[in-house]
Structure 1
Amino acid sequence: MRVLEMLLVTSCVLVLMVSLFRNTINRKIGTIAGIACGSLLAAQLLFEGYRWQMIPVYIVAALLVALLLFRRSKITKPLRFMILALSIVLLGVSVALSVLLPVFHLPKPSGGFSVGTETFHFIDADREETFTEQKGDKRELVVQVWYPAAASGRSGEKNTVFPKDRGLFHTYMQAYSGYLGLPAPALDYWKYSRANSSIHTDLHPAINPYPMVLLSHGMGVGRILHTSQAEHLASHGYIVFAIDHTYSTVVTAFPDKRVTGFLTEQSQDRLFEDSRAILHVWNEDITFVVDQLEKLHSGAVASKFKGMLDMDNIGMMGHSFGGAAAFEAVYSNPRIKAGVNMDGTLFITENRDAMKKPFMFMKSEEFTNINEKQAKYRKTPATDAELKELRLTREQFDNILANRELELKLMDRLSQQGQGRTIYIEGTGHYNFTDLQLYSPLIGLTGMTRSINGTRGAEIVNRYLLEFFNQHLRGTESKLLAGPTEDYPEVKYPNSVYQGE
């Protein structure tokens, strides 16, 4: 709960104790208590802002103010205890809602740099948009950058997690509420959530250019869910460029206020064909963005990043489908040096074991469960009842199983060649590799995250990402990546991920 919210709840409790546990109350004391409670109510609404979780507290506070300021007669004992019981229930409900659905703020990055951010709008004039039917529609991308900010000089406005513009924020909430299966007003309080970066602040001066990391989101979400990861890397001296892959996000907003939604088709019957076609588009997005970074670095496009982007040390990371995109980008783009796949499936597995670049697979606890099922189905085919529960035909299931076999074998071969590494984190679900785990402890009830505390999960993911990129982009050997550690017992290093013959 926020400070004034806690003070308001406390004042309500104190006023209840003073006014309802006594048969009579001094008129002057009652007036003072009523004014104090009313003032806290007004201050909370004015300075922190209304949110629906506090409605029961607002009701109790308003009733108490009216009771203390306008009471003309004694309250009978039954009525006194009825008011007390109702108030306690309302206050308890409000406190519980405020704790379970808090005004979250992203964790403060652990690095020594302050963090700045701004957004670019890139148009690929040489590439037709394939997700729309409009002729002449060119591929457009919104890319947000986080970077080490100067300690002095021009300081920017503090950034929020979601857009500040009221209309745009409402559009985002409509989109995310549909994604989460909630009514949009239930997410209205997200407007108060704060990030740790400042908008349009100066770049921290440095003798050498900064290494870079590109970031791709999962299918149907967007870059916003990876803000804390980007801020963390930027605070340690990286410049992070996160791509919104247009029409594969829940929502993307362009500078001219145009908004796009999700138009990507990925049918179950053509899962791998569709996924490979989408990967091709995303990989072209990544290649195009790297081209734009070269222009920013050379000064061909005016920006604060002229001469400050280390084009020889570019990393790539992604979550879910973005993890598959990261693997493809590292494999196919000679300018990208190393990469991380956060709990993503690979859709292209042939000939990829020849990759001679460092790559890390970070997997959730679900990964081991899936592997066990994989080994089971290898020996005993799925029953018709199991297929019905999975909503798959036998052909679809067999295709998924075959691709999984190739994927696991590829991961093992990369590890044996010394270029790959696989870790999994106990207690994590698929969305523990995003900021969604920080939004509410109730997220776990949806199955999107698992038992690990969200703050702890974010700390582990951020630490291992930093160690990986420090080792492969800066040449700093990491003891943490060498094997299990007492600091992070949740992190496991399997000898082999393929449980085959």
Structure 2
Amino acid sequence: MWWGSSRAKDGRVTEIITGLHMSPLEILVLLGAVALVAARWLPAAARPTVTVAAGSGLVLSVLVLSVVGLRWQMVPVLAGAAFVLPFAVVAVLRRRLGRPVGRARWWLALPGSAVCVGLITMGPVAAWACPVPVFPEPTGSFAVGTRVMQWTDPNRPETATATPDDRRTVVVQLWYPARKSPTGAQPAQYLGRTRQEARTVSDALAHYAGLPGFLVDGVPRAHTHSVFDAPVADGAARFPVVLFSPGLGGVRTQNTAWAEELAANGYVVAALDHPYDSAAVVLTDGRTINTEIASTGDDDEDDKRAADTTRIRAADLSFVLTQLDRLDRGEIVGPLTGRLDTGRAAATGHSLGGGAALQAARQDSRFAAVINMDGYPRDPDPRPFHQPALALTQAVGPQTDARYIPRLTEVLKLSTATSYRLTIPGAAHLTFTDAPLYLPPVPSIVGSLGRTESQHVVAATTLAFLNTTLRHAPGDLAGALSAYGGLSVYDSR
């Protein structure tokens, strides 16, 4: 059991015990509830003291939590405490008033105590299953800054609307090597620039997944390790850039832990929100664009729509690379001017975004490498491309699309450079995102690697590939990758 941190509404840091994913105040509520139940079974002389101390601590902790934010996981704990509290308080009052105190026989009290303990136990179990995510500390030598940009492509109409003058707009979040921030600098909110944006995005993601929003209410409470608009790292070094497209319905922040790890190791990560596709995109004018993607029930029609969406995303990636080049040359004002090496750029993505990255690399020779995280290639006209590619996949199981691996292998073999497919044992589709940090650890959903190991594997494998392909670092890339799973190498030479 170790300690991480979250941040309350008022900006103060609240410690989280990550083994239970509960704050000290929540632990006090839990202990107070347990003590109230246990008081019934203590010697008569000890019961009043324990009851008063436990009840007082419980009430005070709940009052504070009601101010900083009471999580739904504490409801069963409070229910168990509320059930036993009247009996405990009445017994204490009667004793103080000198009246006789009745005590039920143990075989009558035992079922009630068992029910209360069961309710109280549900609290830490729920907090463990659906926690406030605690992001792993980046291991690189740089601190991490982040910045959100919004860019409109004047040359592309927005096909999702009927307005003829509407042009394609994307929201991009950058994570970059930064100077160490002063002590007390507030880390960036997860999922958005503000708590309200984070809540909007969290609710939209839950709705898209068909989940009740309260199950993931801890997600918008989380803060990351980056700092908004932190000064860029000292020196004149120019950083390779990594563009990222999220999964279908996904959002730009869905791989924040991965992006922070890359930035701490000297890369600039640019992750995209794709309006009308991402679950929710909050624009700078305050408007929220929700996804318009929905299954039609017709597999052929859904495949066609997915191919159209992939094509639009591939164009978005190329457009953002153009904007990053303009930012580097000073045509767009920003602190990263002169620090972006767009000649060393990788297209990356998860799921549908991974397919878009492969398509963008084929269509845009400016990309020097491509990473596909468990994405089906949707390009209707796959042709040879020159970039080395890395495909990270889950293990093929009975529920895996039988077309997936053959199609992916076909595309990887079209690369004129050496390409790799790494099948990671214990991985599931969402292993390659931040989801293991906050979703219940169900293997079919987030894999069986564990919350932190999932992040480590994805970051380690992609960094090894990027260091080799963009920085030409010496070493045995195949050996480094094969340490994490089953590796297939495709070399056309």
TM-score higher than 0.5: yes
Change (3 A) 1:125 1:103: same
What secondary structure is seen at the aligned counterpart in 1 of 2:333? coil
Q: Aligned-pair distance for 1:22? A: 2.5
Of stretches 423-432 and 178-187 in structure 1, the one that deviates more from structure 2 is 178-187
Equivalent residue in structure 1 for 2:42, among 7, 12, 21: 21
Q: Aligned-pair distance for 1:459? A: 1.0
Change (3 A) 1:95 1:274: closer
Q: Aligned-pair distance for 1:350? A: 4.5
Q: How does 1:97-116 map to 2 (within 5 A)?
A: 97-116=126-145
Change (3 A) 1:87 1:164: farther
- Distance in 1 (CA, whole Å) between partners of 2:317 and 2:353 is 11
Amino acid at match of 2:459: N
Amino acid at match of 1:6: I
1:320 aligns with 2:340: no
Amino acid at match of 1:227: T
Query: Which residue is equivalent to 1:52?
Result: 72
Q: Deviations over 1:134-177 (max 9, x none)?
A: 22111111001111121156985312223375654443243222
Query: Which residue is equivalent to 1:251?
Result: 280
Query: Which protein is richer in helix relative to its size?
Result: 1
Of stretches 472-481 and 8-17 in structure 1, the one that deviates more from structure 2 is 8-17
Amino acid at match of 1:269: D
Amino acid at match of 1:493: L
Q: Deviations over 1:415-438 (max 9, x none)?
A: xx5421111111112111111122
- Distance in 2 (CA, whole Å) between partners of 1:276 and 1:30 is 64
Q: Deviations over 1:447-479 (max 9, x none)?
A: 333333232222111101111111111111243
Equivalent residue in structure 1 for 2:390, among 319, 339, 360: 360
1:468 aligns with 2:465: yes
Amino acid at match of 2:449: I
- Distance in 1 (CA, whole Å) between partners of 2:201 and 2:381 is 38
Q: Aligned-pair distance for 1:441? A: 2.9
Amino acid at match of 1:425: I
Change (3 A) 1:258 1:337: same
1:421 aligns with 2:437: no
What secondary structure is seen at the aligned counterpart in 2 of 1:240? strand
Determine if contact 2:189/2:198 at 8 Å carries over to the other structure. Answer: no
Of stretches 32-41 and 118-127 in structure 1, the one that deviates more from structure 2 is 32-41
What secondary structure is seen at the aligned counterpart in 2 of 1:352? coil
Query: Which residue is equivalent to 2:6?
Result: none
- Distance in 1 (CA, whole Å) between partners of 2:60 and 2:228 is 34
Structure 1 length-normalised TM: 0.83
Change (3 A) 1:420 1:29: closer
Q: Aligned-pair distance for 1:304? A: 0.5
Equivalent residue in structure 2 for 1:280, among 305, 308, 311: 311
Determine if contact 1:484/1:491 at 8 Å carries over to the other structure. Answer: yes
Amino acid at match of 2:27: M
Determine if contact 1:20/1:80 at 8 Å carries over to the other structure. Answer: no
- Distance in 2 (CA, whole Å) between partners of 1:29 and 1:345 is 60
What secondary structure is seen at the aligned counterpart in 2 of 1:195? coil
Change (3 A) 1:441 1:334: same
Change (3 A) 1:288 1:411: closer
Q: Deviations over 1:68-119 (max 9, x none)?
A: 5553232413465455323211211112111112222222222122211111
Determine if contact 1:155/1:202 at 8 Å carries over to the other structure. Answer: no
Query: Which residue is equivalent to 1:237?
Result: 266
Amino acid at match of 1:236: N
- Distance in 1 (CA, whole Å) between partners of 2:56 and 2:35 is 13
Q: How does 1:91-240 map to 2 (within 5 A)?
A: 91-152=120-181, 156-163=185-192, 165=194, 167-240=196-269
Q: Aligned-pair distance for 1:224? A: 2.1
Determine if contact 1:467/1:478 at 8 Å carries over to the other structure. Answer: no
Structure 2 unaligned residues grouped into runs of 5+: 1-20, 95-100
What secondary structure is seen at the aligned counterpart in 2 of 1:8? helix
Equivalent residue in structure 1 for 2:451, among 432, 447, 454: 454
What secondary structure is seen at the aligned counterpart in 2 of 1:77? coil
What secondary structure is seen at the aligned counterpart in 2 of 1:59? helix
Query: Which residue is equivalent to 1:297?
Result: 328
Change (3 A) 1:122 1:31: same
Determine if contact 1:131/1:264 at 8 Å carries over to the other structure. Answer: no
Amino acid at match of 2:104: K
Q: Aligned-pair distance for 1:2? A: 2.0
Query: Which residue is equivalent to 2:23?
Result: 3
**Paired residues, what number?**
459
Query: Which residue is equivalent to 1:411?
Result: 412
What secondary structure is seen at the aligned counterpart in 1 of 2:347? strand
Q: Deviations over 1:228-253 (max 9, x none)?
A: 11111011111100011111111111
Amino acid at match of 1:77: A
Determine if contact 2:441/2:447 at 8 Å carries over to the other structure. Answer: no
How much is the aligned-residue C-alpha RMSD, in angstroms? 2.9
Equivalent residue in structure 2 for 1:34, among 40, 52, 55: 55
Q: Aligned-pair distance for 1:273? A: 4.2
Change (3 A) 1:75 1:207: farther
Identity of aligned residues (%): 25
